[in-house]
Amino acid sequence: MKFKVTPYHSNLIKDKQRLSAFYEGISEYAEELNNLKNEEGLINKVVYDLGCGSGVLTYFASLYFQGVVGFEKESKIASYATENLKDYDNAIIIKENVLNLEGLQKADLIICEMLDTALIDEEEVLALNHFLPFKEDDGIVIPKEVVNFVEPVNMQRNNICWEDEDYKPNYEIIGPSLKYSEINLNEKIDENFSSNLELKIDKDSIFNGIKITTVTLITDKIVLGPTPMFNPPLFIPVDEIKVSKGDILNLTLSYKMGGGIESIRTVIN
């Protein structure tokens, strides 16, 4: 199926790792409900796709479920999604900011694609928190969970940046990876994050930054790491200090999920 998209959403569709993981997650959930198919071969369940963009994930869900609603606040891409799905009677696109919606029927599946590392610059956090009351008690969210890791680095930049196919920052990892947070997307997210991290140093160097890597559990069985358009590694500068092998540094990291990179704060204790 050919999708009409903006240049940005074209790059999203080209990210086959991302698309495959979400397709498999939606298919896996549908298989669990296979006995609920109606005469048309569709499962009589309601699905919401928050921030549906071009509608590709809405399309995946429409292959299995009776009622699929994609929500998109941007007029241009919402019109594209509507055109892309015009031949699917069980799918509808609503152009609306989901934060303005109330009193909706409860859904059995909520798709809420989280594209930003550690959810720091991710508007979908607010959307999902708003929509969780519209999820059935036995319903699920895809993705299921976000897990964040941090590594101490020596980096050749003094500003926040991401690593992707177009830009590779010059850096050296100087200590082991530390899992510092797990976020269950089926529960309300506390947007304000703050934690004291104990970072081990395994070589003599200059410590002046951290690298955050996000791994996403689409389901229990499907794990999606950073991809070209999905949660690229994030580099955050910190106050520069000289370190030696065996040192343990205490760093307080705080930010607001959905608050943007401007909300990030780091303090070496």
Q: What is the CATH number of the domain that holds 87?
A: 3.40.50.150
Please state, as a whole number, how many other Cβ atoms lie within 10 Å of the Cβ of residue 130: 17
Please check whether residue 194 lies inside any domain of the structure.
yes
Task: Give the closest residue to 191 by CA, choosing from 123, 141, 133, 100.
Answer: 123
Please check whether residue 202 lies inside any domain of the structure.
yes
Question: Burial level of 56, CB count in 10 A (0-12/13-18/19+)?
Answer: buried
Q: Residue 228: its pLDDT value, please?
A: 81
Query: Does the pLDDT value for residue 115 go beyond 80?
Result: yes
Q: Residue 179: its pLDDT value, please?
A: 98
Q: Residue 64: its pLDDT value, please?
A: 98
As a whole number, mean pLDDT of residues 30-59 equals 95
Fill in the amino acid letter for 231: N
Same domain, 20 and 87: yes
Q: Residue 154: its pLDDT value, please?
A: 98
Q: Backbone dihedral region of 84: left (phi > 0), alpha (psi from -120 to 50 degrees) or beta?
A: alpha
Q: Residue 177: its pLDDT value, please?
A: 98
Q: Residue 82: its pLDDT value, please?
A: 98
Query: Does the pLDDT value for residue 150 go beyond 90?
Result: yes
Q: Based on the structure, what is the number of domains in the chain?
A: 2
Query: Does the pLDDT value for residue 102 go beyond 90?
Result: yes
Question: Domain boundary residue among 95, 111, 127?
Answer: 111
Answer whether 93's CB lies under 8 Å from 85's CB: yes
pLDDT in tens, 192-244: 999 999 999 999 999 999 999 999 999 999 999 999 889 999 999 999 999 99
Please check whether residue 1 lies inside any domain of the structure.
no
Please check whether residue 136 lies inside any domain of the structure.
no
pLDDT confidence band for 125 (50 / 70 / 90): very high
Fill in the amino acid letter for 119: L
Please check whether residue 248 lies inside any domain of the structure.
yes
Q: Residue 80: its pLDDT value, please?
A: 97
Question: Domain boundary residue among 111, 137, 162?
Answer: 111
Q: Residue 48: its pLDDT value, please?
A: 98
pTM for the whole structure: 0.94
Please state the φ and ψ torsions of residue 173, each to the nearest 5 degrees: -80, 130
Largest CA distance in the chain: 69
Domain assignment of residue 71, given as a range? 7-111
Question: In Å, how far are 43, 45, 108, 109, 131 from 138, measured between CA atoms?
Answer: 15, 12, 7, 9, 15
Return the residue matching tokens 């499962």: 43
Sheet holding 135-142, edge to edge: 91-95, 65-72, 43-50, 107-111, 135-142
Please check whether residue 84 lies inside any domain of the structure.
yes
Please check whether residue 153 lies inside any domain of the structure.
yes
Answer whether 112's CB lies under 8 Å from 50's CB: yes
pLDDT in tens, 160-179: 999 987 788 999 999 999 99
pLDDT in tens, 34-44: 999 998 999 99
What is the rounded distance in angstroms from the CA atom of residue 255 to the CA atom of residue 97?
Answer: 24
Question: Domain boundary residue among 94, 111, 128?
Answer: 111
Please check whether residue 129 lies inside any domain of the structure.
no
Query: Does the pLDDT value for residue 137 go beyond 90?
Result: yes
Same domain, 52 and 101: yes
